[in-house]
Chains A and B, each alone.
Chain A
Amino acid sequence: MTTDKKKILIIDESPLYEHGLNSMLGSKLCEIETVKSADLALLKIIRWNPDLIITSIEVGNISGFDLCLIIKMMPDFAGVPIILFTSSDEKCVHKKAADVGADYYVRKDTKALGAIKKIFDALSHEKSSEFQQDHEKRQIQNVLLVDDSSTMRKIIKNILTSIGIANVVEAENGKDGMEKLAANEIDMIISDWSMPVMNGVEMIKRIRRDQKYNNLPIVMVSAEVQEEIEKAMNLGISDYLRKPFNALDMKQLVAKFSMNLNISAN
């Protein structure tokens, strides 16, 4: 997305989300239109060239999944980010969203508009984004991955490589992580919590003591209960991802901190 006024196309039977997003994002930042069916959406996409597409799963004649698949097969529009929007919280729906190439997946609940705004902010590079007030978006090419599990390092490294991150530096514990951070140019850290020698929380506390790392994005990946992770947020963690996670969860999280990633669901 460029920094001009953004065009957002919503495909949904209700105009409610257009109204909600208009009030949240404001007409200076974006132009929003809603269509009610998939065939109207395809016509609109070709004529209007939107910057972001938000589609409900229930869109009349064909499903939002099929619509997403069709858009991703259109060479001129394959790069337009698509948010699939559904009231279902079932894992199979989330997986299907990833399978058809949706870039993001948002549940239709009370937090939906906030989630869409975050994605919009992340995509549009606007300074107004809530998360960018703390963390300037940057080119992420070098990630330090700290985890004592070779399996987790392999999983995360393969996901990062698939979104174009060229260099993943691996470390087996917090102490190793600090040494690798000192020896390499790092744009982002992804760290496990529980590790031998030095755990992730201790490592992050020590890293944040050095002012030059104040704005370095550090993401915690943990199977700890959510309350514990949230308690640790004030130690300097930029964000977190709870295990288990899927590739799309990880891609979305990394994309929040990066302006140069080509995120797809696969």
Chain B
Amino acid sequence: MKVEFLNPFLTATQNVIETMARMPVRAQALRLKNSKTTYGIVTGIIGMASETLVGSMIISFSEPCILKIVANMTMEPEKDKIDADVVDAVGELTNMVCGGAKTLLAKLNMKFDLALPTTVVGKDIEIGYRINTPIIVIPFMTENGEFVVEANLEYRK
């Protein structure tokens, strides 16, 4: 996967969290994923396909991080556990990050169609990756813990 594909995801993620949740986020050093399971407690997955590329984007939140993000977004008190509203918020965030990345990728002449996001609740749950390229993880740090964005795209065979 080319590095130029990653920047749109990084930029879109920062923009979405900082705008919707009014929380500063710091991207950390990229790493390769060595498992095929979820990183955090709630995970959003969205399939992406263009004429030449196929793959998915995944965003996975630690519990304190997503509870704070949802409280800030909705301007309501912080919940004490993951519930249907938090899962719904992750679906919406996934959609927004992917939509933002799609806009930025289009500027690189890569036009994508997006699937509807799906969400998974639970840590270390196996994810059915559609492709076998190395999965690149972009970790983000907030004052309330970490979340990660995974992008894996490959050229169609």
Contact = CB atoms under 8 A, between A and B. Distances in A.
**Do A and B belong to a common assembly?**
yes
Nearest to A91: B18
Contacts of A222: 99
Contacts of A194: 95, 116
Interface in B65-91: 70, 73-76, 84-85, 88-89, 91
Given A151-B70, A151-B73, A244 B89 contact: no
B99 A151 contact: no
Interface stretch (A70-78, A152-160, A230-238): A152-160
Given A225-B102, A225-B106, A151 B85 contact: yes
A155 B76 CA distance: 9
A223 B100 contact: yes
B40 to A, nearest CB: 17
B92 A224 contact: no
B22 interface: yes
Interface string A205-228: 000000000000000001111100
A224 B89 CA distance: 17
Nearest to A161: B75
A155 B73 CA distance: 7
Given A91-B19, A225-B103, A244-B15, A151 B89 contact: yes
Contact of A95 (B22, B74, B76, B98): B22
Contacts of A244: 15-16, 19-20, 96, 100
Interface residues on B, range: 20 to 34
Contacts of A243: 16, 20, 95-96, 99
Contact of A154 (B19, B76, B102): B76
Nearest to B111: A225
B51 to A, nearest CB: 16
Nearest to B116: A194
- The interface centre, meaning the residue of B20, B76, B89, B92 with most chain A CB atoms within 10 A of its CB, is B92
A150 B85 contact: yes
Contacts of B16: 243-244
Interface residues of A, number: 20
Nearest to B18: A91
A87 interface: no
Contacts of A246: 19-20, 22
Given A91-B15, A149-B91, A194-B116, A155 B103 contact: no
A48 interface: no
Contact of B88 (A91, A151, A245): A151
Interface string A242-261: 01111100000000000000
Interface string B117-134: 000000000000000000
Nearest to A227: B106
Contacts of A245: 19-20
Contact of B85 (A154, A158, A224, A247): A154
B96 to A, nearest CB: 5
Interface in A136-181: 149-152, 154-155, 158
A150 to B, nearest CB: 5
Contacts of B92: 149, 151-152
Nearest to B74: A154
A133 B80 CA distance: 49
A158 B75 contact: yes
A222 B76 CA distance: 23
Contacts of A95: 22
Nearest to A157: B74
B85 A155 contact: no
10 contacts: A91-B18, A150-B85, A151-B85, A155-B74, A158-B76, A194-B95, A194-B116, A223-B100, A244-B16, A246-B20
Interface of B: 15-16, 18-20, 22, 70, 73-76, 84-85, 88-89, 91-92, 95-96, 98-100, 102-103, 106, 116
